[in-house]
Amino acid sequence: MQHPNYDARYRNLMIFFAGLTSSVAFWDVVLPLLGLRSLARRTRPARYRRIAANFRVMAVRMGGVMIKVGQFLSARLDVMPAEITEELAKLQDEVPAEDFVAIRELAESELGARLETVFEMFEHVPMAAASLGQVHRARLPLGAMDNGDLRDVVVKIQRPLVKQLIDVDFLALRRFGGWLQLYKPIRDRVNVLALIQELADVVHREIDYVAEATNADAFRANFSDRKRVCVPRVVWSRTTERVLTLEDVYAIKITDYDAIEAAGISRISVAETLFDTYLKQIFEDHFFHADPHPGNLFVNPQPREGAEDRTSWQLTFVDFGMVGSVPAELQRGLREMLVGIGTRDAAKVVEAYQTLGVLLPNADVELLGQAEARMFDRFWGMSISELRQIRHAEMHQFARQFRELLLAMPFQIPHNLLLLGRALAILSGMCAGLDPDFNVWRQLAPYARKLMVGEQQSEWEGWLDQAGELVKELIALPGQTSKILTRLARGDLQFTMPQVSRQINHLETAVNRLFGGLMCAVFLLAGVFLYRSGEPLPAYVLWGASGTALLWTAFLARGHSP
């Protein structure tokens, strides 16, 4: 491998970024000062597309982390114009393969032995090559160490000197980000340096193959009880920070519809399983595969036990370098979002936005709620094929209005939420390809109801716990009041105002009635809860106690006469 010239790479990147900065400054700063603001505004969409197209060409030519930058920015719908995100979405992480001599040298250095010693067979031509690494098929020797019956594997090997290239690229990106932060409209809208740091964290996690192997093991454990899902086994004895060896589970690509049907597998079933699998990852495991593009998902036909069994298959996931987590606050917001969508509750959806922390305190939530309600009225319940029949102009106008509403509220979405949004966008496209009539609402509704029942159960239990504590305090109040009155009768407490006794009597009456009313409500609601839980007899007892408390409150809860 030819040693890269890092200085020349840095210089070329800075020349590109300097030209980009100059163009933005000329059109968006200088021309408005000269009274040509309308010209700048009118040409902005075309200029943004041209900028993104030039960046895409540069990224493919330079390789390294620049392709990751483009893919990362294509998902930042919260801070990037649509013209840029749409153009950058065309950027694919497919680059020419690395020279095998350099790949062999790195792999043997990491594994501490020649490839012929470690593997019985190793294909020199990679089956896939990306910006940070490439994948080769191989075979383990019979009875190799801790691998049991596992022999056919794939070996992911990092490109040589990729860490140094990443350091150079991020040095240039941080300098460019510093320039952009000097421009107030950009500085007010987005923290560019924070975005660059987010991307740096993502890329450094992707080149840690031990972390990726750990992710694969976690996914395998999460789906151990689902026979329909396959996650490759990790060969830890042949895995290092820069070499990853996994079970070869590559099969029919999930977008190869003809091959799926030829294997006797229902595309509708595949779409439903794929979507349900992501619901489990997000709402139960709180840990999800963040890069579900067609190259990372396969349909694997299984050996048939009988002639009548024509549908035995597994949905297979590979490549766990990009994953996302769902921390507690994000879990709560997503649960609210799913329940709101599943029940067509626009106010619940807006509450979810607030829980997720993507809206500023002064955001116009009423206007946002109206937009959500209009969306439900127009689109809720439609299948993807029905949505496709809506006139393009109508869809475009609605999306534009909604996008402008969000852009009018400056915010920056948390990275895990962005990863999730990107994953779900890709997922939606794949489900529609598998089943043109795929109805996301139908898939979401049962899950939303399940979560809503769980949420109500949790709220009931929490309410009863709080009510129990309150009851303990209220039970003590009449006794404490009685002690005060007894001391008054003995003359232990002296007051100079004659009306105090009457006021205390009124206070005792009020406290007793408050206590009786709360006890009535507690017994009544607890009875409802037990009745709904299938326990009618205890419910009837509690309802009787509720009636007794009501009578006591109405007729007996009076204080001592003065």
- Annotate 4-40 with DSSP letters as a single string: P-HHHHHHHHHHHHHHHHHHHHIIIIIHHHTT-HHHH
The amino acid occupying position 352 is A
Joined tokens for residue 345: 């509750």
Closest CA to 426 of 275, 306, 220: 275
330 CB neighbour count, 10 Å cutoff: 20
Question: Nearest 10 degrees: CA dihedral of 123, 129, 135, 138?
Answer: -10
Query: 136 forms bridges with which residues in the sheet?
Result: 155
**pLDDT score of 73:** 76
**pLDDT score of 336:** 81
Between the alpha carbon of residue 19 and those of residues 25, 40, 87, 88, 174, the distances in Å are 10, 17, 19, 19, 16
203 contacts 65 by C-beta, under 8 angstroms: yes
* Coil, strand or helix at 403: helix
CA 177, distance to chain mean position in Å, is: 26
Distance CA 155, CA 396 (A): 44
Closest CA to 532 of 428, 461, 468: 461
Which residue ranges does the chain devote to CATH 3.30.200.20?
A: 99-159+208-250
The amino acid occupying position 206 is E
Q: Which residues contact 108 (CB under 8 A, 6 or more apart)?
A: 114, 115
Measured N-to-C along each axis, helices 267-280 and 415-434 cross at an angle, to the nearest 10 degrees, of 170
Distance CA 397, CA 384 (A): 18
CA 91, distance to chain mean position in Å, is: 22
The amino acid occupying position 182 is L
- Could you give the angle at the alpha carbon of 289 between the alpha carbons of 286 and 293, nearest 5°? 150
Residue 107, CB-side half-sphere exposure with 13 Å CA sphere: 27
The amino acid occupying position 110 is E
Joined tokens for residue 480: 């404490």
Query: 245 forms bridges with which residues in the sheet?
Result: 155
Distance CA 353, CA 414 (A): 12
pLDDT tens-place values along the chain, 562 residues long: 455 678 898 999 999 989 888 888 888 888 888 888 888 888 888 998 999 899 988 888 887 778 888 877 776 655 677 788 888 877 776 678 889 999 999 999 999 999 999 999 999 999 988 888 999 999 998 866 555 678 899 999 999 988 888 999 999 999 988 888 887 777 766 677 887 887 888 888 889 999 999 999 999 999 999 989 999 999 999 999 999 999 999 899 998 999 999 999 999 999 999 988 988 898 889 899 988 877 789 999 987 655 444 558 999 999 898 888 888 888 788 778 777 777 778 888 888 877 777 765 666 677 777 777 777 776 666 655 565 566 656 656 666 665 555 555 545 566 677 677 777 777 777 888 888 888 776 777 676 666 666 554 444 444 444 444 444 444 444 555 555 555 555 555 444 444 445 555 555 565 555 556 556 665 566 665 555 556 666 656 666 666 666 665 555 555 544 4
**pLDDT score of 307:** 46
504 CB neighbour count, 10 Å cutoff: 19
Closest CA to 407 of 83, 186, 78: 78
**pLDDT score of 108:** 96
95 contacts 135 by C-beta, under 8 angstroms: no
Phi, psi of 498 (to 5 degrees): -65, -25
**pLDDT score of 112:** 94
The H or E element that residue 156 is part of is: strand 152-158
457 CB neighbour count, 10 Å cutoff: 13
Between the alpha carbon of residue 71 and those of residues 65, 215, 249, 304, 365, the distances in Å are 10, 22, 26, 40, 31
Between the alpha carbon of residue 306 and those of residues 303, 325, 332, the distances in Å are 9, 41, 45
**pLDDT score of 146:** 59
Distance CA 381, CA 378 (A): 9
281 contacts 427 by C-beta, under 8 angstroms: no
Joined tokens for residue 9: 């790479």
**pLDDT score of 229:** 94
CATH class of 99-159+208-250: alpha beta
161 contacts 2 by C-beta, under 8 angstroms: no
The amino acid occupying position 329 is E
Q: What is the CA radius of gyration of the chain?
A: 32
